[in-house]
Amino acid sequence: MTRPLHLDLPNAHPGHTAHFTDYRAAEIGQVTISPEGPVEAGAYASFTLVFTAGRFGMDDTGSLRICTRQVSDVGKPQFTDPKAPNYVTAEASNGAKLTLEFNPKLAMRPWSRTLTVTVARGFLSPGDTITIRLGDTRGGSPGLRMQTYCEARFHFLVLADVFATCNWALLPVQPWVPVVPGPAVRPLAILPTRRRPGERFALLLRSDDRWGNPSPLPAGRHRLSASQPVAGLPESFDWPEGARAHRIEGLSAEAAEALVIRWNDTASNPMRVASGELTPYWADLHGQSGETVGTGSIDALASYARDLAGVDAICHQGNDFQITQEGWADFNRAFAGFDQPGRFVFLPGYEWSGNTALGGDRNVIFPEEGRTIRRSCHALVENLTDHATDALDARELHAALKAEARPVLCIPHVGGRYANLHFAHDRMLERAVEVHSDWGTFDWLLHDAFDVGARVGIVANSDGHKGRQGASHPGGSQFGSYGGLTCLLAPELSRAGIFEALRRRHHYATTNAARVHADARASLATPAALHVDDPALGGAPDAQTATAMMGDILAGVADETALFTADILAGSPIERVQLFNRTELLEVIRPDAAPGLRLRVAWEGSEYRGRGRETIWTGEIGVSGTSWGTVKPINKFNLDHRFEADATTLRFQGVTTGGFQAMEAPLESLDGTLSIRTNLVTAEIPLRDLLQGEAVWEAGGLGRRMRAWLMPEDAPRAMRIERRVALRSDADNAIYLRANFEDGSVLWTSPIYLLR
Mean pLDDT of 349-375: 97
CA 542, CA 556: separation in Å to the nearest integer? 13
Q: Do 411 and 262 share a structural domain?
A: no
State residue 377's pLDDT score. Answer: 96
CATH number at residue 230: 2.60.40
Residue 575 lies in a domain: yes
State residue 9's pLDDT score. Answer: 57
Residue 16 lies in a domain: no
Residue 5 lies in a domain: no
CA 5, CA 1: separation in Å to the nearest integer? 12
State residue 578's pLDDT score. Answer: 98
State residue 20's pLDDT score. Answer: 75
Q: Do 392 and 382 share a structural domain?
A: yes
CB atoms within 10 A of CB 756: 17
CATH number at residue 394: 3.20.20.140
Q: Do 266 and 250 share a structural domain?
A: yes
- From 490, 515, 540, the end of a domain falls on 515
Q: Do 636 and 657 share a structural domain?
A: yes
CATH number at residue 30: 2.60.40.2110
Residue 20 lies in a domain: no
Q: Do 451 and 345 share a structural domain?
A: yes
Q: Which of 186, 157, 214 is nearest to 41 (CA)?
A: 214
Mean pLDDT of 577-587: 98
3 state SS for 623-636: EECCCECCCEEECC
pLDDT digit string, tens, across residues 691-739: 999 999 999 999 999 999 999 988 999 999 999 999 999 999 999 999 9
State residue 19's pLDDT score. Answer: 62
Q: Do 196 and 171 share a structural domain?
A: no
Helix extents (H) in 604-730: none
The answer to whether 232 and 252 have CB atoms below 8 angstroms apart is yes
Q: Do 685 and 575 share a structural domain?
A: no
Using the predicted structure, report yes or no on whether residue 397 has a pLDDT greater than 60: yes
Handedness of CA 588, 591, 595, 601 (dihedral sign): negative
Mean pLDDT of 731-755: 98
State residue 8's pLDDT score. Answer: 53
Q: Do 699 and 613 share a structural domain?
A: yes
Q: Do 412 and 375 share a structural domain?
A: yes
Q: Which of 326, 321, 331 is nearest to 387 (CA)?
A: 321
Residue 414 lies in a domain: yes
Handedness of CA 22, 25, 29, 31 (dihedral sign): positive
Using the predicted structure, report yes or no on whether residue 16 has a pLDDT greater than 50: no
Q: Do 314 and 454 share a structural domain?
A: yes
The answer to whether 215 and 244 have CB atoms below 8 angstroms apart is yes
Residue 249 lies in a domain: yes
Using the predicted structure, report yes or no on whether residue 6 has a pLDDT greater than 70: no
Q: Do 555 and 465 share a structural domain?
A: no
Using the predicted structure, report yes or no on whether residue 279 has a pLDDT greater than 90: yes
Mean pLDDT of 622-636: 97
Q: Do 252 and 208 share a structural domain?
A: yes
Structural domain of residue 599, as residue ranges?
Answer: 594-713
Residue 754 lies in a domain: no
Residue 258 banded pLDDT, cuts 50, 70, 90: very high
- From 229, 253, 273, the end of a domain falls on 273
Q: How many domains does the chain contain in total? A: 5
State residue 127's pLDDT score. Answer: 98
Considering only residues 11 and 595, tell me which one the structure prediction assigns the higher pLDDT.
Answer: 595
The answer to whether 413 and 437 have CB atoms below 8 angstroms apart is yes
State residue 25's pLDDT score. Answer: 87
Residue 432 lies in a domain: yes
State residue 233's pLDDT score. Answer: 98
Residue 5 banded pLDDT, cuts 50, 70, 90: very low
Mean pLDDT of 348-374: 97
State residue 11's pLDDT score. Answer: 55
- What's the distance, Cα to Cα, between the start and end of the chain in Å? 62
CA 593, CA 743: separation in Å to the nearest integer? 18
